Amino acid sequence: MSRMLTRKLLPVRNILPPVTKRASHVHRQRYDVIVVGGGHAGTEAAAAAARVGAETLLVTQKTHTIGALSCNPSLGGVGKGHLVREIDALDGLCGRAGDWAGIHFSILNRRKGPAVWGPRAQLDRQRYREFIQAELLSTPRLEVLEGSVEELLVTDPNPEEPGRHRVTGIRLANGSRPISASSVVLTTGTFLSGSLFVGHTVSPGGRIGDAPSSTGLSQTLRERLGLRVGRLRTGTPPRVLKDSVDLSLAKLHPPDSHPTPFSFMNTRTRCKPEEQLPCYLTYTTPGVERVVRESLHLNCHIQQDAKGPRYCPSIESRVLRFPGRRHQVWLEPEGMTSDLLYPQGLSMTMPPDVQLRLIREIPAMHRAEIHTPGYGVQYDYVCPTQLSPALQVKNTQGLFLAGQINGTTGYEEAAAQGLWAGVNAARWARSLPPAGLSRTESYIGVLIDDLVSRGVNEPYRMFTSRAEFRTSLRPDNADLRLTQKGSLLGCVSSARRDEFLRVKLRLQDAEAALRALTLSPAGWRKMMPGISVSESKNGTLSGMDLLQYKDVSFEMLASLFPEQLSPHIEFSERLKIEAVYKPHCDLSKREVERIQKEENMSLPQDLDYFSLPVSLSKEVREILDRFRPSTLGAATRLEGMTPAAVVNLLNYVQIAERKERMMNRSNAGQQEGRGEDLCARNASLPQ
């Protein structure tokens, strides 16, 4: 077990007992930052605000559910794993918590390039919750209070800042004295006017087993602040007793033999490779579709207008959208000692007896017993175009929103927003300017930009395809992209900063050593017979150049040049990935520089953006047609414009200008030729 993980073992034992004492009352009536909600967004927001230096209060309905995995017991995946690595690079919690609680680690998408690999782990629910609680309760300047928030305290704005309102604190539902704060972060998850659905039964709440949130908070947002609020839905599958499932009828999926940690601070995971648990894959049958169709009249959730998650739909939605198909069902462990399985892909809201009929139509679960039935949730969300890139409500000074309240789905998306909202809430409280993340430097920047500039009409999920510069936004280099920025913002610990500086300098030394190794192509082929360097290639190749070849590894080069390269063997995978993507990253960097250089380039005002023969989304075409920017720089500042769209627009205009210049020169040459011919004919006339 690594030194970092050993150090983290102690707080779990020693700090958890005082939870009730720490959460029973507040020690002051005014804080810099108050965070409402103890889910993934709330815990990251509270910890980040406290790290930046703000006196912070986290208010949650139940302290023992802080850090609970409400739905699936997993973290990461394609796109989502990128977010976890970036959160960790900014010293967030969930990456280290995943390394502590993980029981099945795997890298998804390995058949593709490392830029779109998806680090993922199955988690032990109890271990994850314990780690998050221990971290929060050992964080300086952070207090936890158990309670329900009834309303926001709102007053007139500071006339020197934009906005029509200013938040000044919260009022609890128990009638206690108001608690004041300079800024408030709302991370209400599915609890904002939440409703639970099982069959025809509807009850208030955001999660089974928890009390419903008060309606006062939602009314404050709608009526007092005048925010546009919509309605979304989600769901969760039934939990199944493991002993009642015949796993021999499902396909075994083992974990990676060498677990890859999420955190840059960890060299290994708590769970040893041989201790990891497997997952199992099975499929739905025609009987599942039959049960769904026969029970639609008993299921009011599926008949509601609220939009559900397109990329994690209920089994009812899958059957209705894709009739006649079989659908994957992953049987995932819920913990090292848990007797439950999580059937990923079987989210459902039909009556419990019908749920049992349905799952027993799957061969591996023909005798399955349900421990907890699945259910659906509908909840309010705030249209995120009403937020700034700092995740602050534009019309309300000091009010920040993060997580599902902004229309997203998933732990990772919530945690990323929470961290950034917490950083900016603390900066607002300390009268510092907001901090921003661009699409070109992080997936968190892509996520926030998509939300605030485009909004949502269904729960938003992160994918690698959403990032235009994904070859440079990789899981392996999140620390190089973000940790120094986090250090400047004050949200990164000194231990992480020191480790980052060590890694950065060692990588620079390793790359310098590789570049110093230069041979001709023939020389490399002589030293490494069988490598695919072309015989027609001229000049010299460095070790860094050679690493770009698929059949060359850093270990191979280190065996040939042990004195120069063996000291850097711990970074072998990172150096290989960096070498492979260096040409692509250099191209992306040049494109960004081109945009900056051509900011003043004029855009023709008669352009028909809807018919331009260039790769632009329908949304981008509508934005350009509506605002008709006069220059490229003005186009880059329009909400909803992506860097890739700007590059494509720049290329089109420059090509069009070149064609126009060539045509003008050709026309001028033709006119000059006709003039000379006329002069010649005139000269031949008698004088």
Domain boundaries, the chain: 2-236+379-492, 507-587, 600-683
pLDDT score, position 311 = 63
Decide if pLDDT at 634 tops 90.
no
pLDDT averaged over every residue in the chain: 90
φ, ψ for residue 68 (rounded to 5)?
A: -70, 145
pLDDT score, position 672 = 65
- Count of other CB atoms within 10 angstroms of residue 69: 21
* Radius of gyration from C-alpha coordinates of the chain: 29
The CATH class of the 600-683 domain is mainly alpha
DSSP for 360-418, written as a single string: TTSGGGTT--EEE--EEEEEEEE-GGGB-TTSBBTTEETEEE-SGGGTB-SHHHHHHHH
Could you give the CA distance from residue 520 to residue 526 in angstroms, rounded to a whole number? 10
Phi-psi region of 34 (alpha: psi -120 to 50; beta: other; left: phi over 0): beta
Decide if pLDDT at 682 tops 70.
no
CB-count exposure of residue 390 (10 Å: 0-12, 13-18, 19+): buried
- What three-state secondary structure class fits 442? coil
Contacts of 147 (CB under 8 A, 6+ apart): 59, 60, 61, 172, 173, 174, 176
**Whether the Cβ atoms of residue 8 and residue 100 lie closer than 8 Å to each other:** yes
pLDDT score, position 21 = 40
- Tell me the pTM: 0.88
Helices marked H in 109-176: 125-137
**Whether the Cβ atoms of residue 245 and residue 281 lie closer than 8 Å to each other:** no
Helices marked H in 308-365: 315-321, 352-359
Residue range 427-484, pLDDT digits in tens: 999 999 999 998 889 999 999 999 998 899 899 999 998 888 889 999 999 999 999 9
- What three-state secondary structure class fits 54? coil
Distances (CA, A) of 330 to 47, 342, 344, 467: 33, 8, 5, 28
State the average pLDDT over residues 530-535: 82
Could you give the CA distance from residue 328 to residue 282 in angstroms, rounded to a whole number? 6
Percentages helix, strand, coil for the chain (3-state, rounded to 5) are 45, 20, 40
- Count of other CB atoms within 10 angstroms of residue 235: 25
Enter the DSSP assignment of 154: E
Sheet with 74-76, edge to edge strand ranges: 74-76, 118-123, 102-108
pLDDT score, position 679 = 57
What percent of the chain has a predicted confidence (pLDDT) above 70? 92
Query: Which architecture, in CATH terms, is 2-236+379-492?
Result: 3-Layer(bba) Sandwich (3.50)
pLDDT score, position 84 = 98
The CATH class of the 507-587 domain is mainly alpha
State the average pLDDT over residues 72-80: 96
φ, ψ for residue 357 (rounded to 5)?
A: -60, -40
Contacts of 515 (CB under 8 A, 6+ apart): 542, 543, 544
Grade residue 659 by pLDDT with cuts at 50, 70 and 90: confident
Of the candidates 334, 402, 412, which has an alpha carbon nearest to the alpha carbon of residue 371? 334
pLDDT score, position 596 = 77
Could you give the CA distance from residue 508 to residue 542 in angstroms, rounded to a whole number? 15
**Whether the Cβ atoms of residue 137 and residue 20 lie closer than 8 Å to each other:** no
Q: Report angle CA 305, 311, 315 to the nearest 5 degrees.
A: 70
Grade residue 300 by pLDDT with cuts at 50, 70 and 90: confident
pLDDT score, position 559 = 95
Could you give the CA distance from residue 181 to residue 460 in angstroms, rounded to a whole number? 30
φ, ψ for residue 509 (rounded to 5)?
A: -65, -40
Of the candidates 143, 145, 137, 177, which has an alpha carbon nearest to the alpha carbon of residue 24? 145
Of the candidates 277, 459, 249, which has an alpha carbon nearest to the alpha carbon of residue 360? 249
Decide if pLDDT at 597 tops 50.
yes
Decide if pLDDT at 680 tops 70.
no
Of the candidates 237, 339, 343, 338, which has an alpha carbon nearest to the alpha carbon of residue 281? 343
State the average pLDDT over residues 615-625: 88
**Assigned token pair, 316:** 């009812």
State the average pLDDT over residues 73-90: 97
Enter the DSSP assignment of 92: -
State the average pLDDT over residues 143-171: 95
Could you give the CA distance from residue 485 to residue 489 in angstroms, rounded to a whole number? 6
pLDDT score, position 160 = 92
Could you give the CA distance from residue 211 to residue 38 in angstroms, rounded to a whole number? 14
Distances (CA, A) of 610 to 182, 642, 649, 650: 46, 17, 12, 16
φ, ψ for residue 4 (rounded to 5)?
A: -65, -45
Residue range 537-575, pLDDT digits in tens: 788 999 999 999 989 999 999 999 999 999 999 999 999
First to last CA, the chain: 107
